Amino acid sequence: MTPRYGGYPAKYQRAGKVKRRAQPSRRALLVLVLLAVFAAALKVGVTRAVFSDWEGIRVYLQAGAWNNCTYTQGYWKNHPDVWHVQEIAIGNETYTKEEAIAILETPIGGDATYILAHQLIPAKLNVLQGADPSAVETTTADADEWLIEHPLGSDPSDPDREQGISLAETLDNYNNGVIGPGHCED
């Protein structure tokens, strides 16, 4: 009797006449998973996909509506249940949701750092909930850099103060729907 391997006689295996079935690589599996995630995002409104455990290629999806529109700071301050994150980074600091809401509730008192933070936090939350960021990408990056140079509560004087207020005005226009994708229907 001829020894068999994979259903084919050994002499065919040695001669290279039988092609082995290709096993998918981890990279190929990852590509398939990513394609499935993106297809799902287009069809069911998946807003976030978090990939973890590279070896196990686990994918976690957070379903939700993709909202290409913006809300103001008042909306985000009064609706913490719809935040897509538990922490948010502004400047060089990361704040919990509760700390960020406290910042939004802090009277600005003319301090340009708070004026800017009151617009930067909602702008970032709007982007996280699906709003097109292209109208404020540069402004958001500039605002973060400005807050690194002028930490929250430092109350800078002119001309730095005017620069912070100018950044805040652009972000305010975005959050109110004057620029960018427009304001969300309430």
| Mean pLDDT score across all residues of the chain | 81
Residues 55 and 125 grouped into a single domain: no
Residues 111 and 51 grouped into a single domain: no
In a domain, 186, yes or no: no
In a domain, 139, yes or no: yes
The pLDDT of residue 24:
60
In a domain, 98, yes or no: yes
Mean of the pLDDT values across residues 140-157? Answer: 97
Is the Cβ–Cβ distance between 47 and 125 less than 8 Å? no
Q: Number of folded domains in the chain?
A: 2
Mean of the pLDDT values across residues 63-82? Answer: 86
In a domain, 180, yes or no: no
Mean of the pLDDT values across residues 151-158? Answer: 97
pLDDT over 70 at 152, yes or no: yes
Range of the domain at 147: 73-175
Q: Which of 24, 43, 63 is the last residue of a domain?
A: 63
pLDDT over 50 at 178, yes or no: yes
Residues 79 and 161 grouped into a single domain: yes
pLDDT over 80 at 3, yes or no: no
Residues 151 and 106 grouped into a single domain: yes
The pLDDT of residue 42:
53
Q: What is the pTM of this model?
A: 0.67
pLDDT over 90 at 55, yes or no: no
The pLDDT of residue 17:
53
Residues 78 and 22 grouped into a single domain: no
Residues 83 and 126 grouped into a single domain: yes
